[in-house]
Amino acid sequence: MTLDQLRYFQTAAETLHVGKAAQIMNISQPSLSISIKKLENELEVPLFEPSGRGITLTSYGEEFLPYVRSILQQT
């Protein structure tokens, strides 16, 4: 797990849109998606699920987000 992965997760969680999150983070959408998928694989839980044209947090994602915010505030 890297700080970049946590930043990407937080931005996607706040925008609820992978494309918008990628634009904010100034990376390609596929790169952001791959990074989040690697994070999900490492944690062995899904963090997002598709919702129309966007995404929503799963219950795991909702639980994980406060920890990510705390970690990133300390960096």
- Which residue stretches of the chain have pLDDT < 70? none
Cα gap 8→48, rounded to integer Å = 12
The pLDDT of residue 75 is 84
The pLDDT of residue 51 is 93
Helical ranges in the chain per DSSP H = 3-15, 18-25, 29-43, 59-73
The two three-digit tokens of residue 31, written as one number: 């790169």
Task: Give this prediction's pTM.
Answer: 0.94
Domains along the sequence of the chain with CATH: 3-73 (1.10.10.10)
Angle at 32 between CA 26 and CA 33, to 5 degrees: 150
How far does Cα 7 stand from its chain's mean position? 7
The pLDDT of residue 23 is 97
Residue 3 corresponds to which amino acid? L
